[in-house]
Structure 1
Amino acid sequence: MKNVFIILFLITSIYYVFFDSFISDPIKIVFKLIPMILVLLIAFLSNNLAKTYKTFVLIALIFCAIGDYTIQWFIFGLISFLIGHLFYIRAFLSTNEQKVPSIAKILLVTYGIVMAFIILSVVIQTGNIVMAIAVFCYITVILTMGWTAFRTKSKLAIIGACLFIISDSVLAINKFVLSVDYSHQLIMSTYYCAQIFIALSIDNYSAIKSKGVQ
């Protein structure tokens, strides 16, 4: 059954990412949420060996799905995704399969400083201090999510977290700095890939954990 949901996820996500112009505006949100519902089902049907990890990933996916809907009111969507990332961080913190590599720490911190400078310099100029604080907090949280993903030793979790950072970076640049060509395709393709990789990391991490127990 899970394989069926994965196939359906691929079909529906590709359709929304690349053929959204054929979807009428009133029902676009429905097509946007269908892949996330399928990701939730895939995560739910995953191995229960790493129960804590699985539980927090599921909660994170729920808040991200809420964020998908509420992003039309940007600050509310930002808060929903922020909460989702906090639960991803909690999931990753429940693991301790390896130390975070020094190179990953350096790259994430450097990337965070550059992104904060680029985006916040524009937001602060608008005089919207509340938005500037919210964006700064979001950048900090999502980079922490990427940082803690390395603890899992799961390539799927790490790739998923990195793709999430890329997706949100493109979204932020497109919204605050400059218009990005094919922003919809770039944002949503990396976003859906991030979510499915993290959902599939439940089984991946369970396998890693079972090897460690043996």
Structure 2
Amino acid sequence: MVSPVTVVKSEGPKLVPFFKTTCVYFVLWLPTASPSWFSALIKCLPIFSLWAFLLAHGFSFLGDHSSARKILAGLIFSSLGDAFLIWQEQGYFVHGLLMFAVTHVLYSSAFGMKPVNVSAGLVVTALSSVSYMLLYPYLSGPFTFLVGVYVALIGFMGWRAIAGLQLANDLWTWTKLSGCLGSVLFIVSDLTIAINKFCFPVPYSRAIIMATYYAAQMLIALSAVKCQEAEVARKRT
């Protein structure tokens, strides 16, 4: 099994641009009241850096791993969603919602359908249902349907990520753990958005949303990398 030190040494340098651009976002902390292409760029830069992170492993890596290609595609749609949400008060919230819905479909496909892990699916379904029932009284119009579909999609994505983490059988890997943690943080981020937008103001909502979102995307991007294979290859050379 690959140790955390091995993961850090192997993938850490490639993530430096992500950490730097994330710091830029939080340092500048551009006001959301005056959306602009510059603020959209600053918000998207960390995700662009994750594109670069995956591309840094080479086109042959992406060609050999369909899950990595799907996660890269998910990051691209996430960038579009981030840009739309900059102008959410101008009527582009639904556009952003749809882009992230596509992202969750791609991530679910990347995580795969094996193992099924029915118990994890039942737990996630129950939590998703409770979340939607709590949001439902505050929803109206098309959001009643759209939020329900979105909750189902992100819940499905979370199930597929969690299902792959088999702790009991000692079959887990750091990449699967990254995907699992990333999916959970993504759900926390989106649930905070929903509560803040539809229910009531959440204290420090923007900081919570963006911190969990960036961490989620980084962990999901990291889950695409087969660190164990890289380690074996280094030992052979």
Cα distance in 1 for partners of 2:199, 2:27 equals: 24
Deviation track 1:162-209 (CA, whole Å, cap 9, x = no partner) reads 11100000000000000011111100010000101011111147749x
Amino acid at match of 2:117: V
Structure 1 portions without partners, runs of 5+: none
Amino acid at match of 1:147: W
Is contact 1:160–1:194 with CA below 8 Å preserved after alignment?
A: yes
**Deviation (angstroms), 1:45:** 2.4
**Deviation (angstroms), 1:3:** 4.3
Amino acid at match of 1:171: I
Q: Structure 1 length normalisation: TM-score?
A: 0.84
Is contact 2:14–2:56 with CA below 8 Å preserved after alignment?
A: no
C-alpha root-mean-square deviation of aligned residues, in Å? 2.6
Cα distance in 2 for partners of 1:178, 1:171 equals: 10
Match of 2:29 in 1: 20
> In 2 relative to 1, CA 70–22 (structure 1 residues): closer, same or farther, beyond 3 Å?
closer
Deviation track 1:90-120 (CA, whole Å, cap 9, x = no partner) reads 1112x63x44362x33431222122101112
Counterpart of 1:55 (choices 54, 69, 77) is 69
2:46 counterpart of 1:30: no
Counterpart of 1:197 (choices 219, 226, 230) is 219
**Deviation (angstroms), 1:21:** 4.3
Q: Which structure is richer in relative contact order (CA contacts within 8 A, separation 6 or more)?
A: 1
Stretch deviating more after TM superposition (170-179 or 45-54): 45-54
Q: Structure 2 length normalisation: TM-score?
A: 0.76
Cα distance in 2 for partners of 1:88, 1:111 equals: 20
Match of 1:100 in 2: 117
Stretch deviating more after TM superposition (173-182 or 113-122): 113-122
Match of 1:109 in 2: 125
Based on CA coordinates, which of the two structures has the bigger radius of gyration? 2
Counterpart of 2:181 (choices 123, 147, 159) is 159
After superposition, residues 38-187 of structure 1 pair within 5 angstroms as 38-46=49-57, 48=61, 51-71=65-85, 72=87, 73-93=92-112, 96=114, 98-100=115-117, 102=119, 104-124=120-140, 128=141, 130-153=142-165, 154-187=176-209
1:181 partner SS? coil
Over the matched positions of the two proteins, sequence identity in percent amounts to 28
Counterpart of 2:20 (choices 11, 16, 29) is 11
Structure 2 portions without partners, runs of 5+: 1-9, 166-175, 233-237
Amino acid at match of 2:97: L
Deviation track 1:55-102 (CA, whole Å, cap 9, x = no partner) reads 111111111111000122100000000011111111112x63x44362
